[in-house]
Amino acid sequence: IIKEGDIINDEKPSKDCDVYILYVGTLLDGTQFDCSTNRDKPFNFKLGQNQVIKGWDESVKTMRRGEIAIFIIRSDYGDSDSDSENGLLIPPNSTLKFEIELLNWIDNIDIID
């Protein structure tokens, strides 16, 4: 953990939340292959719905709001079988390193009358 998140509330996002993160992705040799801060807005996805690599679903659910952490993600939890994922140059079976900041999340609770 680079920066502790909100330890007062100790809340963590749950499955199906829309999470908002900033991230930098590198190979273990330091080669950067992606960075959300190059875009105009945070990256968001629905937690636990396989919209991102398994390593992100597993990692982000452990974080608190405002936390910044580094995660080393094995190839079986990342882009293990592709030379390029979404145009990114990631060699097959690579271990990936992500610095992730969990900015916020929105709980998606069904309201039943």
Model confidence pLDDT, tens digit, residues 13-72 = 999 999 999 999 999 999 999 999 888 899 999 999 999 999 999 999 999 999 999 999
pLDDT, residue 82, reads 54
Q: Which residues contact 45 (CB under 8 A, 6 or more apart)?
A: 18, 19, 51, 52, 56
**Separation CA 92–CA 67 (nearest Å):** 30
pLDDT, residue 41, reads 92
Q: What are phi and psi of 14, to 5 degrees?
A: -110, 170
Tokens of 85: 């994922």
Residue 87, pLDDT > 80, answer no
